[in-house]
Amino acid sequence: MLQIDETIISFDLLEEHFVCDLAKCKGNCCIEGDAGAPLTLNEVKIIENLLPIIWDDLTEKSKEVILKQGVSYIDEDEESVTSIVDGRECVFTFTDQHGICKCAIEKAFREGKSKFYKPVSCHLYPVRLQKYNEFTAVNYHRWSVCECAIVLGRKLKMPVYQFLKEPLVRQFGQEWFNQLELADREFKLNKR
């Protein structure tokens, strides 16, 4: 483990490789699973305000779920997470013309309709954050649906943290990321 400020970072972020390969996985991370993506209370409010902008991109089933229970629910860990359809698919998922599942929230951002990219937990995946009293654990999450991302990451020699530079900077800031890069260089020098 590595510590930067109030974060404890798994060495997996430096040692493991990862690059999303949507052409192969078809965005399965938005469909598979048994709970929604973690949300902050602020994100719930932002997404509620975005509903009129993204509504037409949502499936009819997603709209039904949102009308019934809202954009989020409290999961078994007592955390707010995105609502899901049929116990698995995120309500903000839509399928593009190539059969790839994508996020309606991110689509609105890319089209300039919103300044909110998407929930930070989605943006950070495969990194998961766990908050404790004095620090936040920054861990790499392994999931079989992302096997093709591991293969592509190894092929391109892309460490997890480098692939996730943008969301890590979004979450922790540029100075934090600079320290992580420095730690990676030192870590690799010491491994020789």
Mean of the pLDDT values across residues 12-33? Answer: 88
Is pLDDT of 191 > 80?
A: no
pLDDT confidence bin for 192, thresholds 50/70/90: low
DSSP letter, residue 98: T
Average pLDDT over residues 35-48: 93
Residue type, 31: I
Task: Encode 110-140: b = buried (16+ Cβ within 10 Å), e = exposed.
Answer: eeeebebbbbbbbbbbbbeeeeeeeebebbb
pLDDT tens by residue, 121-169: 999 999 999 999 999 999 999 888 889 999 999 999 999 999 999 999 9
Average pLDDT, the chain: 93
| Residues 75-93 pLDDT 10s | 988 899 999 998 889 999 9
The H-assigned helical ranges of 12-40 are: 12-15, 22-25
Phi/psi at 24 (5° precision): -95, -45
**Residue 66 burial (CB < 10 Å; 0-12/13-18/19+)?**
buried
pTM > 0.75: yes
Strand-strand pairing, 136-140 and 7-9: parallel
